[in-house]
Amino acid sequence: KKKADLAIGDLTVTSDREKYVDFTLQFMTLGIKILYRKPEPAPPSLFLFVSPFAIGVWILVGVAFLFVSLAFFIMGRLSPSEWTNPYPCIEEPDYYINQFNLRNCLWFTAAGLTQQGTDIAPIGISTRTGAGVWWFFVLIMVSSYTANLAAFLTVETLVTSFNSLEELAEQTEIKYGAKRDGATANYFKVNSRSNQ
């Protein structure tokens, strides 16, 4: 409208404005900034306790549990030390018993996995070695699980409805505003029209 020769201010260069005036080189570029309320933390999941390990790790721990239980059963049957006299007062009993039946093997392995004790004590070298290896494996797994669970519990997961200006313009859930007839308002006007 030819009312001023020069203007100084926080002006944004747009194609509409360039039709009528010449702009100098920008000496400061700020871009568009958003101020919004801090998002609410996500509620804890019911299955947060399985988060420290991937599903594949849980499956392999289950397979290892079954394999080790079966290995204890076989070692208990093959080791002569595991066959004991049920009646210590009788020198030559009619039969011997083995504490490593399948149920006790599963119980012994599960007790090791949860770091609990049982009344089943391996006697033979093979079963003692197997128990030591299993307990070392459990020690490593429980240490890893505890460290990862602590990390999962300290990291706060925030739920955000958008991550960029484009996503903000596309959504309709959050109300937003900008200075009237400014470049930011025009940006949102153009982008929200193109999505409709």
Q: pLDDT tens for residues 138-183?
A: 999 999 999 999 988 887 666 667 777 777 777 777 777 777 777 7
Quick check: pTM over 0.75? no
Report CA torsion sign: 8, 11, 15, 20: negative
Share of the chain above pLDDT 90, in %: 30
Q: How confident is the model at residue 28 (pLDDT cuts 50, 70, 90)?
A: low
Residue 101 to residue 84: CA distance in whole angstroms: 13
Three-state DSSP at 75 gives helix
Q: What is the predicted pLDDT for the residue at 157?
A: 67
pLDDT tens for each residue of 46-88: 888 888 899 999 999 999 999 999 999 999 998 888 887 777 7
Q: Average pLDDT over the chain, rounded to whole? A: 81
DSSP assigned state of 98 = E
* Known binding residues: 12, 17, 184
- CATH top-level class of 52-154: mainly alpha
Residue range 89-117: average pLDDT? 87
Kindly state the average pLDDT of the residues 4-8. 69
Q: What percent of the chain has pLDDT over 70?
A: 85
pLDDT greater at residue 191 or residue 101? 101
d(CA 137, CA 131): 10
Domain boundaries, the chain: 52-154
Annotated binding site for L-glutamate: 12, 17, 184
For residues 183 and 169, give the distance between their C-alpha atoms in angstroms, rounded to a whole number: 14
Residue 61, judged by CB atoms within 10 A of its CB (0-12, 13-18, 19+), counts as middle
Q: Count CA within 13 A, CB hemisphere, residue 169.
A: 18
Residue 84, beta-bridge partner list: 97
